[in-house]
Copies of this chain bind each other. A is one copy, B any other.
Amino acid sequence: MRQSKLFSKTERTPPKDEAARNAELLVRGGFIYKNSAGIYSYLPLGLRVIRNLSAIIREEMDAVGGQEVLMSALHDKKYLTASGRWDVDVVYKATAGGEREPHFNLSWTHEEIMSEVAARYVSSYQDLPFAAYQIQTKFRHEPRAKSGLIRGREFLMKDLYSFHATEEDLRAYYAKVGDAYRRIFERCGLHAIYTLAAGGDFTAGNTHEFQVIAPIGEDTIFVCGSCEYAENEEVSKLAEGDSCPTKCGGVIRREKAVEVGNIFPLGTKYAEAFNLKFTDRDSSQKFVVMGSYGIGVSRLMGVIVEMFNDEAGIRWPAAAAPFRAHLLALGGGAGDEAARKHADAVYEYLQRSGIEVLYDDRDASAGQKFADADLIGIPWRIVASPKLGDGAVEVKARDTKEAKTVSLKELIVEIKEHSKV
């Protein structure tokens, strides 16, 4: 894409109303627009990142047999009353046309809706197990919405729900989804720690979170420096310096961490609320056993930016980056038609080679182009200039200091070799 056509623009000065580094950089880079506290719109560059993350998540959800759906955002009071979750502080309620009493809440999670749908289709053990997921907008009235994309009032979430005949089957699937989550975070360049956590609003028993150690994190975890066994402070009796309870010989550290995913064994709580039963092999009627599994997709984007940035801007991991390469046309000012043609030719060559490229064809100074490239943070920066000689460009990875001059052919090999996701 030609940067001169991109309607968003980079900004030199940090926004005054953003405390979090992820929001600062994403706003300055033109990835997102802040509509209100905790409420953002995704501009073209930002939506490309969301798409990339969503594609990874979809692949891994499909691989564990998840069937994609898209559930409604307006949830009728009757569903929330059935589960006893109509009056929850963080939930928005919707009214219209002079109604005095709200009839709907806004989706903050979908256990109720999904249980209701499942009750329509499940009647026999032969209908189980199955799992359905969506990537959909959630709403939560967060009292503090100061962490950019990490704690939004409106945010994108992938939520998966699984339905089983037995607790054992749920446990086996739960472990499988845990593995899928590990792969997702790894592909996004994040090291996420599997952490024992409290039941929260969803279930009485223990659950698990995937935590990324980061200063912006609002959670505190106790984690073994050796085997990475971890517990959330909320449920932990560990203390810093303790020996690891797995007896691996490691020592427990206390860390700030941000949750990027969570998995909940729900048992039969929602099945009971929605009369979600099946006839088992022995003709007995049983409640379906459920699990639910979440990843905040927009939060994931925020965490990636928190983990991958330097003083000059973002350093996107390849899998998340809005483009694979950022081509800068230098010496191509209004008076230099030859330089512009030269850069145009490189742009077309890259596109033909299957490289998604943002092409900085703007009439701007070299200094501004370099600064913007660092801010936007695309993994490969390519400089096209007639001075480099025929068929040659300068290439620099965002996370290295030194640039080198290579032929176009070498460039393609280099990019493809180093961008495998």
Binding site for B on A (CB under 8 A): 5-9, 30, 33, 35-36, 39-44, 47, 50, 65, 67-76, 79, 89-98, 102, 104, 106, 113, 116-118, 120-122, 127, 130, 132, 137, 139, 141, 143, 153-154, 163
A36 touches B154 (CB 8 A): no
A121 touches B8 (CB 8 A): yes
A154 touches B39 (CB 8 A): no
A359 to B116, CA, bound (A): 26
29 contacts between A and B (CB under 8 A): A5-B67, A7-B121, A7-B132, A8-B121, A33-B117, A35-B71, A35-B74, A35-B76, A36-B74, A36-B76, A39-B74, A41-B70, A41-B71, A43-B69, A47-B68, A47-B69, A47-B70, A50-B70, A73-B139, A74-B153, A74-B154, A90-B96, A91-B96, A92-B104, A93-B95, A94-B106, A95-B95, A95-B102, A97-B141
A102 to B5, CA, bound (A): 38
A42 touches B69 (CB 8 A): yes
Cβ distance A196 to chain B, nearest Cβ, rounded Å:
30
A121 touches B9 (CB 8 A): yes
A41 to B136, CA, bound (A): 11
B5 touches A65 (CB 8 A): yes
Cβ of A94: which chain B residues have Cβ within 8 Å of it? Answer: 92-94, 106, 139
Cβ of A132: which chain B residues have Cβ within 8 Å of it? Answer: 7, 44
Cβ distance A132 to chain B, nearest Cβ, rounded Å:
6
Max chain B Cβ within 10 angstroms of own Cβ: one of A65, A69, A121: A69
Cβ distance A66 to chain B, nearest Cβ, rounded Å:
10
A40 to B113, CA, bound (A): 11
- Given A5-B65, A40-B72, A97-B141, 11 additional A-B pairs, CB 8 A: A35-B76, A36-B76, A41-B113, A42-B70, A43-B117, A74-B92, A74-B139, A92-B104, A97-B143, A106-B106, A137-B137
Cβ of A91: which chain B residues have Cβ within 8 Å of it? Answer: 96
B93 touches A67 (CB 8 A): no
A6 to B74, CA, bound (A): 25
